Chain A
Amino acid sequence: MWNLKHFAANLYRQYELVTCINMFEPWEKKLINGFVLLMFVLLIFSSCVYLPSYMDTLLDVITPTSGTSKVPDMVYVPQRISSI
């Protein structure tokens, strides 16, 4: 648990450093982080609403397959993405 927290803190620090966010004042930080979060949420929302088939495929790719050779046609995913 502590390790995870440490890792997350490290990740956030790297994010702050590479985007120069660590130089800003608190309200500016909130503004930028809010903007980034908003964009991210909008992106996810719109892809869920307007591209449901795409999201299904993506979820299929992401979720680890528990059984061996359960869905053999899923190996072919990259081409299906590109065809959309």
Chain B
Amino acid sequence: MGLNARVATLPGHEITVEEQQEFRVDDLLPSRVMRPADAQDAARGLRLCDLVPAAVVTWGGGTQMRLGATPRRYEVAFSTERMTRLLEYEPADLTCRVEAGMRLQDLQESLLAQGQRLPLEPPHPERATVGGMLAANANGLGRARYGTVRDWVIGIAVAYPSGKLARAGGKVVKNVAGYDLMKLHIGALGTLGVIAEVNFKVQTRPQVEATLLAHFEMLAPAIDCGIALARQYLAPAAALVLDQGALRDCGLAADWRWTLALKLEGYAREVEAARNKATGIIRDAGGRVEEGDVPSTFWETARDWSAPDDDHVVVRAIVPLTSIHAILNALPPDSRMMALPGAGLVDARVAPGSAASTLQRLRTAGGDQGQVIVAAAPAVVKKGLDVWGPPPPGFPIMRALKQALDPNGILNPGRFVGGI
């Protein structure tokens, strides 16, 4: 029996032409879609895929599908769209447990009703799922202050190709029983298992939020300001440096060369103190604080900018803070960029034609302590790019971990670092 015939024996259903397009990954189309009803169902379904063996791409909201290399094979779209329940939520414990297919915005709305939130803001929360956020390690603009996905996940249930559904962590905010497999699956892009359920810790919403914009004639002082602010005890919830192009993308047509955008959060007095402190630091650095209104959609557009739905090529550098200037100096003049100086992160939209040379230059500039990846690109551009860069020093262990958990290589084959 050929592979197609064997895939046809799987549960779920044969895919329609419309659905095929919906589940496209780069230039690959699946022949079948599976929509497990819950975590156990996901484990059973994955086991069947493993028996075929059929290559599986897990789908949440599809907002990070442009991340990673083109898979080597793709037969089954494994969608978590039916796994959307909020399973447990105890506001006084500041914890919750959700199914991986829950949309982030739906979760945030449930938390908001209790005056709480998850301080993670990945792009497109109206579509992005909890499981996808973990798999792609999709973090928002607040990472310098609030940390990343790994700091908020306290438990996980994962379906493996072996058919096992295995948990790690738990429902309490402090827990060191067993291995921390949450860390292993966060950012693994679904190559080690299908994340089925996630337990989070959450926080009380801040009392007050404010935005402060400043503009600079020179880039370096804007970046230094962002770093200096992130080092303050009252670090901004977000400190973002944008060039003129990116600023326009975010709905501000101002004629500013470089903009430092600050989101301040906390108790009213903290926000006031942080604003005064920031104003002082900005003025000392030669920046100018703008008093005008900020478009209401500014932060949302900025949040979504690095995960475009169109064919933009986004290159991302994550480096020690002291290497940021070198990264920015290596960007081509026709690129547009946003930087989170306090998090050591730069996102740049570059022209498809200069993507390869830009990657090369940024990797040199970032040094061996930095990483430069392609965060989004259309299939045709990706083909000519090394999207992950050279595998990190621990790569042999990573490959062995993949072998141990997915011996037949059915999960997102070839999409991750070093061909994993």
Please say whether chains A and B are actual partners in one complex.
no
Q: A interface vs B, CB < 8 Å?
A: none
